[in-house]
């Protein structure tokens, strides 16, 4: 009997420990502490398919994530199945896989009843557009312009020459209504909304276009069409950059896409996806902070710091300073309890020789300046003409 009691007690302790562990992982997921969740899940061989799938999605191991999350969607646990669908929805949306998104939504709808089902099907219904396809890809080296801290690259859209900003903070590429008219694009009504600093979210229309950037050719690329000049004339968002896999720009006005990536190593990654936004881990003294990586913003902001305070930041061996200003980007502040500590804009890279984003290895590397470039920086590189 004593042996039986001890066995039962040990089993109870193990079950209690496992529940506490899952609760901790739930808190990390809800607070968007993806780096903490990665560390916890990869250290535990018994982690469930759901959490392994969430980590695989967040660190851009999408084939693994899809296999795991589809498995979870077949689960009898409705909450887990619904959570797995939501991650698949985010992945399909970023990848332009609209047919798979529609099929996954139909399965999610079967998990719900009545009012909730109608609401989910309405809010998340993917547009009945064809999938985005990359019909050509290859290493590309272009000249870019720095315009007020924005990195503007040359491209063609439906055969028309243009210069758009690359924006890692944008979940979708976007153009202004005036630009859509210039290009002759047909814009359709959409459930999608866009949030901009200092104004309420507003509804947008959407349109498809063919885009050529260097040796990359995107067919049926989705653009949000904004009613004003918020993105005048246009931005190239995260879905395109993820598909290119690698991006590197230098202080002397050169940008490269599609060069060889490093092998993925989730444990060493300092980039991750937070829902549909890119985060970067930075060192702040003894702390690790996660900030939204936003090349569309010329200003970096710490959400929790007081006005005019300075916090020393470092990515690898590259130091930087983030300055916070009162109410800056206040509409983008995360919910209470969020692990997202701020926004990393292009001012952080001032004084660097080059910045490399590897979305296979999920690493950002900031390269120091070399001899002969004293005074150059990424915030204000030497202007160079754009040629087509």
What residues pair up with 223 in beta bridges, in sequence order? 173, 207
Whether the pLDDT of residue 337 is over 70: the answer is: no
Listed residue (346, 308, 378, 317) closest to 167, CA to CA: 346
pLDDT the model gives residue 342: 87
Whether the per-residue pLDDT at 323 is higher than 90: the answer is no
Contact 290, 281 (CB under 8 A): yes
69: nearest Cα among 108, 115, 99, 127 = 108
Asked if omega into 48 is within 30° of 0 (cis), the reply is: no
Domains present along the chain, CATH in parentheses: 12-123 (1.25.40), 133-244 (2.40.70.10), 266-368 (2.40.70)
pLDDT tens digits, 263-317: 999 999 999 999 999 999 998 877 888 999 999 999 888 876 544 456 778 888 8
How sure is the predictor about 383, in pLDDT bands with cuts at 50, 70 and 90?
Answer: very low
Residue 336: band (very low, low, confident or very high) from pLDDT cuts 50, 70, 90? low
The answer to whether residues 294 and 169 touch, using CB atoms and an 8 Å cutoff, is: yes
Task: Indicate yes or no: pTM above 0.75.
Answer: yes
For every residue of 263-276, DSSP letters joined together read PP-GGG--EEEETT
Residue given tokens 């896999």 in the structure block:
245
Q: Hunting for tokens 């272009």 — which residue is that? A: 142
Q: Which range (14-28, 91-105, 197-211, 217-231) has the least confidence?
A: 14-28
The tens digit of pLDDT for each residue in 23-44 reads 888 898 988 899 999 999 999 9
Cα distances from 100 to residues 126, 171, 202, 269, in angstroms, run 10, 18, 27, 28
What average pLDDT is seen over the chain? 83
Give residue 206's region: left, alpha or beta (phi > 0; psi -120 to 50). Answer: beta
Of 119 and 214, the structure prediction assigns the larger pLDDT to 214
């Amino acid at each position: 009997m004593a042996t039986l009691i001890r066995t039962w007690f040990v089993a109870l302790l193990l079950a209690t420990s496992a529940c506490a562990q899952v609760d901790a992982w739930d808190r990390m997921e809800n607070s968007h502490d993806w780096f903490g969740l990665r560390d916890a899940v990869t250290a535990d061989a018994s982690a469930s398919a759901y959490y392994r799938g969430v980590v695989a999605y967040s660190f851009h191991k999408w084939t693994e994530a899809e296999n795991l999350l589809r498995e979870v969607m077949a689960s009898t646990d409705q909450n887990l199945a619904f959570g797995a669908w939501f991650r698949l929805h985010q992945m399909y949306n970023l990848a332009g896989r609209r047919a798979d998104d529609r099929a996954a939504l139909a399965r999610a709808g079967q998990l719900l009843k009545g009012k909730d089902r109608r609401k989910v099907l309405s809010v998340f219904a993917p547009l009945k557009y064809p999938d985005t396809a990359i019909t050509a890809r290859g290493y590309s080296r272009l000249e870019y312009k720095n315009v007020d801290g924005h990195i503007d690259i040359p491209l063609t859209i439906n055969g028309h020459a243009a210069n758009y900003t690359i924006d890692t903070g944008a979940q979708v590429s976007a153009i202004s209504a005036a630009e859509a008219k210039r290009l002759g694009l047909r814009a359709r009504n959409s459930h999608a909304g866009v949030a901009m600093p200092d104004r309420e979210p507003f509804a947008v229309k959407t349109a498809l276009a063919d885009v050529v950037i260097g040796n990359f050719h995107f067919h049926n690329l989705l653009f949000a069409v904004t009613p004003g000049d918020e993105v005048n004339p246009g931005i190239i968002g995260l879905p395109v950059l993820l598909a290119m896999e690698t991006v590197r720009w230098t202080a002397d006005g050169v940008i490269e896409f599609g060069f060889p990536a490093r092998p993925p190593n989730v444990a060493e990654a300092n980039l991750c996806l937070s829902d549909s936004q890119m985060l970067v881990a930075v060192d702040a003294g003894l702390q690790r902070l996660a900030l939204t990586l936003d090349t569309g913003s010329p200003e970096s902001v710490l959400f929790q710091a007081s006005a005019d305070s300075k916090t020393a930041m470092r990515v690898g061996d590259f130091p930087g300073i983030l300055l916070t200003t009162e109410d800056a980007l206040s509409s983008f502040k995360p919910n209470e309890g969020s692990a997202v500590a701020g926004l990393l804009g292009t001012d952080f890279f001032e004084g660097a020789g080059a910045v490399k984003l590897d979305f296979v290895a999920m690493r950002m590397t900031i390269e120091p300046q070399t001899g002969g470039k004293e005074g150059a920086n990424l915030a204000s590189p030497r202007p160079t003409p754009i040629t087509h």
